[in-house]
Structure formats: C-alpha cells, structure tokens
Amino acid sequence: MQIGLFGGTFNPIHLGHLRSAEEIQESFQLQQIVFIPSANPPHKEGRDIISPLHRIEMVNLAIAGNPAFSTSEVEISRPGKSYSIETIDRFKEMQGKGLTLFFIMGMDAFTEIITWKDYVSLFSRCNFVVTTRPGYAVTDIETILPSDVAGEFSYIPEEDRFSHISNFSLYFRDITPLNISSSVIRRRIKEKKSVRYLLPQAVVEYIKLHGLYKDS
C-alpha cells in the first residue's frame, strides 16, 4: 500500500492543493492521498486561521467524489501544536507493515523544513515529495539543508531521486504551476472580490454560507 500524506492548513483548500495531490498520486501511483488539516500550525501562529472544523469540512467538500482522496483528523484531534513527525509516526503505527508513505509538500514548505520539529529524523521516517510552486525557486538540497544533513543523501540520476542513508527517498517533482494561495483567497474575500475558479465551487458556497474570512 502506497499512501501520500498531504499536510496543510487548508485555510481554505484550493485548486493548487488539489492539482498537486492529483499529479503526485498519478505519477507515484499512490492508492490514497490523505489530506491532513493541521489543528494549530506552529509556523502560522497569529494568522487568521479559522476553526479546524470548518477547514476539514471544506476539504471534505473539495474531495467529494474522488475515491483516491481522503481526510484525516489525526492532527485536529490531537491536543497542542501539530507536528508532522508525530503525524507520520501515527500513520506508521496505524497502518503497520506493508505501508509506504510519501509525505508531500510544496517548495515553500521545504525551504522551511529545518525549522520543523526533529526535522533531521524526518528523513528516516518516510519518503518525501517536494513539488514546484510558483514564486518559490527550485534550489538544491545543499542550499536548504546543513551540509551534514545534505550529505546523508545521494542523487540517483536514473530515478531522479535523492536516496537517504535510511533508504527512504526525497523526490523533487515539477507540477502544473498554479499561482494560488489561501492567503490571496482570504484577502480577496475580505475585499469582496471574486474567488470563483480558484477553489471548488462547493467550497466557495460553504464560505459564503458561513460568512467565513469576511473580517480578520
């Protein structure tokens, strides 16, 4: 069983998230992509993050009808801050042997990975897939990771992957560039501008129905 874990604030989920999940699911032939909204993201404190219940509901609306996409409440039901390392460990515990995990993130998230809890040991936990994202340059791992950590990887050109000493891999993959972000969507709603076609219509309607993001 090969599963992609896609963590995020999803405040709200948009087509950039969905397209990334779709393309990675297809190219890695993953059985499932699990969207994992974070409860209390350590990197986004103080931003206008609405209730996790609204955020998960919007993810559910966005993925409805796609049997390869699902959501997990592991982070929203865990008290305290949401750390990816704990989420990965939880999935490994729940699924047991025979599970191959691919943790998916955009380039913007990867450039901050050294600020994540126990980030060095993350690479010994599962595979990582880093996707391109408009506005974030593709850089080499030596630029992002300290040299001793980068030195634990070796590039395998035939498979276009970095193999870690743990035998897990780090992949960089180009995806269709969609310059969409949740923050721009929130700003546009505040400014009473259209957000149609940036996110699924069912999510646009949910936002309207609940009057979300109107004030900061």
**Contact positions toward ligand ATP, by CB under 6 A?**
8-11, 16-17, 20, 105-106, 108-109, 131, 133, 178, 180-183
Q: Which is nearer to ligand ATP, 147 or 194 (CB)?
A: 194
- Minimum CB separation of residue 202 from ligand ATP in Å reads 18
The region that residue 100 occupies, defined by phi over 0 for left and psi between -120 and 50 for alpha, beta otherwise, is beta
How many whole angstroms from its chain centre is CA 177? 16
- Minimum CB separation of residue 62 from ligand ATP in Å reads 12
**3-state DSSP: the chain helix, strand, coil percent, rounded to 5?**
40, 20, 40
**Axis crossing angle, helix 201-210 with helix 52-63, rounded to the nearest 10:** 150
- Minimum CB separation of residue 18 from ligand ATP in Å reads 10
Q: Which is nearer to ligand ATP, 5 or 169 (CB)?
A: 5
List CB contacts of 152: < 8 A, sequence separation 6 or more. Answer: 123, 164, 165
For 138, the token pair is 């593709």
- Minimum CB separation of residue 14 from ligand ATP in Å reads 6
Q: Which is nearer to ligand ATP, 3 or 105 (CB)?
A: 105
Q: Which is nearer to ligand ATP, 162 or 213 (CB)?
A: 213
- Minimum CB separation of residue 181 from ligand ATP in Å reads 4
- Minimum CB separation of residue 96 from ligand ATP in Å reads 26
Rounded-to-integer distance, Cα 69 and Cα 107, Å: 22
Residue-wise over 167-188: b if at least 16 C-beta within 10 A, else e?
Answer: ebbbbbbebeebebbbeebbee
Q: Which is nearer to ligand ATP, 9 or 82 (CB)?
A: 9
Q: Which is nearer to ligand ATP, 20 or 169 (CB)?
A: 20
